[in-house]
Structure 1
Amino acid sequence: MSGPHRLAAVLILGLALLLAAFADPGHGSRDVTDDDRASIAAPVDAEVAVPDAPTLPSSTPRWRSQRVLPERGMLIAYYGTAGSGSLGVLGESSPKKAFRRLQRAAAPFERPGRPVRPVFELIVSVADARPGKDGDFSHDIRKAGVRRYVDAARELGALLVLDIQTGRTDFLKVARRWSWALEQPHVGLAIDPEWRVRRGQRPGQVIGSVRAGEVNRTSAWLSRLVVEHDLPEKLFVVHQFRTSMVRHIGRIKQRDGLQLLQHVDGFGTPGQKLDTYHAVARPDIFAMGFKLFYDEDVHRMGAKAVHRIRPRVRFVSFQ
């Protein structure tokens, strides 16, 4: 074989070996890529950079991906306790009947692209005029009654907010007693400083108050519950109708997994209610809530009037 023909044969054989080396056994051959060509062209003794193993993205926590406030929408609630209408409309009937009535009350608040979501706000720790066996001027309602609302809210697609009126007891201590319910993904927490009194005081005789530190300890505990159990974001509601009810309010901290909401509870004429709202509202810290009273309000405000309020109201409860 002459020189030129021998050279051609060597080149053909080399190409065949090269293609065989990049064949994918069992799946047929594949085209040689630019990366393959680069590695072939590199000198044998060159240091080849090995890419790091791909890092799988960690799953997004539910509290980041599942927000409790509807996008541009509102939450509409019925407020009260189980088995009694004396503390609010929620307890005047069964949960299912209350839900149907709540749906009718919520309908006027809905706007195109601004959905409403129903909420039961259930008082589970009720302030008392007498000290009781433990001397804290508060009592818990029966677990069976609370469980009924936990189950009903889940079945009906509603949120449930547990409202605690703790008398002389720390909010955190009482909240811990309801951890079995707060571990449910649709259950949030509300604290009511009106009924948080100090030693020597009695609920109903004075307007109670709470320090920001106690609020922060309670929200920190609830935040840990959300994060550790990988729960959706929860509501953490602070009721208020006087500036004195939450001392050092500017020190209240934001928490992972919680939507802080300030609920302004003043009653009276529309003008009186708006005066209270504007005096108390801290939209730099909270999303804003507003209460409508069936009995105590004079010329109760409708959905249009509530939509006009600024700072914007995101949560409305009926009592």
Structure 2
Amino acid sequence: MNTMSTRYLRLCLVGLSLSLFFSACQSTTNGGYVTEASAQEPVDGSVQDSVATADTTAAEPLGIDAASYQAKLEVLANGDTTGRWPVADQPLPHQGAILPYKRIVAFYGNLYSARMGILGELPPKEMLAKLDKEVAAWNTADTATEAIPALHYIAVTAQGSAGRDGKYRARMPFSQIDSVLRIAEKRDALVFLDIQVGFSTLEAELPRLDTFLRMPHVHLGIDPEFSMKDDLPPGKRIGHFSAADINFATAHLAELVRVHSLPPKVLVVHRFTQGMVKNYDQVTLRPEVQVVIDMDGWGAPALKKNTYHTYVFREPIQFTGFKFFYKNDLIPTPHRMMTLEEVLKLTPQPIYIQYQ
């Protein structure tokens, strides 16, 4: 790993331990983590098996125009000459696909915490007004691709304590997810439900959210950083997902899309280190799911560009995203956030944008 990457990883690890687990996860309701006491899971059996009970006689979905799709992918490749971008032999998505026709601009966070992201930091009215300004800025910066709003809500949060079942994660109550849906409705915004599994698994956590994921405008995020495969709890080491984990998520989403005749789902996978995503070349792409690898490391522009190039550009899967940190991108001062114009010059060009 080169000096710049090493320095960036060190910054990320410091930021993780200092700002995420000892302050970023501070709850506005109990003065500590978003714990199981403040985020009780629903009573067993309250989540319907949406796949098993749905009508399975839906018509075969139509595809989209291959020429226009490929043309947009070429634009996103941003002049790449290495052959990595656009990703070859990817399936043509079904009709209703968001990417690459729209750029998603999302606010990230948790309603229980004012320090996990902008989504929970401001009252809904102020937060939506700020999101409006960011969406407008992206529409000004790139007039060829319409920017649309989204709320990216952490529905399963990693924990610094084991909890009742020793899984080091807390499931948010469905009433809180309902609140996010109501807030999003005010802007006709997309909703992403994000999963930080801790010592749990996607197999255990993802199906619980089917009630929401079968809604056409609700999509998914998964965070390898908090997927702990050994005996160290979240915050002690950066975790990972393998291709098998990601393939489980895409297969599950694809089944929901097929059974419920939904438009394609977007799956956001966070990444800022080499080890967070393993066996990237074994990830299976499906016409029902659009996979975004979101570069969510923080730091100065040079560090962020280097990380994007090293871990996102070099290991192509399908689409890419980029994350802004309103506070941590400024550490240490006098660092600054990257400009929209700088992000649009990245190869490939991110089509999903997140603010924390």
Name the TM-score, length of structure 2 as normaliser.
0.70
What is the Cα deviation at residue 152 of structure 1?
Answer: 2.7
- 1:165 aligns with 196
| Contact 1:70 1:116 (C-alpha < 8 Å) held by counterparts | no
Deviation at 1:268, TM superposition (A): 0.8
Shift in CA distance, 131/68, structure 1 to aligned 2, threshold 3 Å: same
Cα gap change, 1:144/1:58 in structure 2, threshold over 3 Å: closer, same or farther? closer
Greater RCO, 1 or 2 (C-alpha within 8 Å, sep 6+): 2
Which has the higher Rg, Structure 1 or Structure 2?
1
Confirm whether residue 244 of structure 1 aligns to residue 275 of structure 2: yes
Give, in angstroms, the shift of residue 59 of structure 1.
Answer: 6.1
Asked if 1:103 is matched to 2:132, the reply is: yes
Change (3 A) 1:299 1:61: same
Deviates more, 1:132-141 or 1:62-71: 62-71
**Is this contact kept in 2: 1:227–1:256, CA < 8 A?**
no
The separation in 1 between residues aligned to 2:186 and 2:290, in whole angstroms, is: 23
In the alignment, the residues of structure 2 paired with residue 234 and residue 96 of structure 1 have an alpha-carbon distance, to the nearest angstrom, of: 27
Confirm whether residue 124 of structure 1 aligns to residue 155 of structure 2. Answer: yes
Is 1:290 aligned with 2:327? no
Shift of the 264–58 alpha-carbon distance from structure 1 to 2, 3 Å rule, reads closer
Aligned match for 1:203, one of 221, 234, 245 = 234
Unaligned runs of 5+ in 1: 1-56
Q: Using the alignment, how far apart are the partners of 2:147 and 2:249 within structure 1? A: 28
Query: For each residue in 1:91-110, what CA deviation from the matched residue of structure 2 results, as whole angstroms up to 9, or x when unmatched?
Result: 12344432221011222211
Aligned partner of 2:226: which letter?
W
For residue 43 of structure 1, what is the aligned residue in structure 2? none
Equivalent AA in structure 1 for residue 299 of structure 2: G
SS in 1 for 2:248: helix
After TM superposition, give the deviation of residue 66 of structure 1 in Å. Answer: 0.6
Q: Give TM-score, length-normalised by structure 1.
A: 0.78
| Contact 1:82 1:146 survives alignment (8 Å) | no
Alignment of 1:227 with 2:258, yes or no, is yes
Deviation for aligned residue 1:61: 7.3
Task: Give unmatched runs, 5+ long, in structure 2.
Answer: 1-58, 65-92, 330-334
Aligned to 1:79: 108
Label 1:116 to 1:202 Cα distance change in 2 as closer, same or farther (>3 A).
Answer: same
**Structure-2 change in CA distance of 1:230 and 1:279 (3 Å):** same
| Same amino acid, percent of matched pairs | 30
Q: State the partner residue of 2:62.
A: 60
* Counterpart pick for 1:92 among 107, 121, 130: 121
Shift of the alpha carbon at 1:58? 6.2
Whether contact under 8 Å (1:209, 1:244) holds in the other structure is yes
The CA distance in 1 between the partners of 2:61 and 2:254, in whole Å, is: 19
Match status 1:302 vs 2:332:
no
Question: What is the count of residue pairs matched by the alignment?
Answer: 262
Change (3 A) 1:109 1:187: same
Deviation (angstroms), 1:286: 2.0
Query: 1-side partners of 2:188 and 2:162: how far apart?
Result: 37
Superposition RMSD in Å:
1.8
Structure 2 counterpart of 1:23: none
Query: What secondary structure is seen at the aligned counterpart in 1 of 2:94?
Result: helix
Cα distance in structure 1, aligned partners of 2:148 and 2:179: 20
1:253 match? 284
Q: Supply the distance in 2 between the matched residues of 1:197 and 1:269 (Cα, whole angstroms).
A: 28
Contact (CA 8 Å) 2:149, 2:187: kept in 1 or not? Answer: no
SS at match of 2:232: coil
State the SS of the aligned residue for 1:82.
coil
Letter in 2 for 1:173: A
Q: 1:168 to 1:58 in 2, by over 3 A?
A: closer
Q: How big is each residue's C-alpha offset from its partner over 1:201-253, in whole Å with a ceiling of 9 and x where there is no partner?
A: 10001001121111111210111011110111111111010111111111011
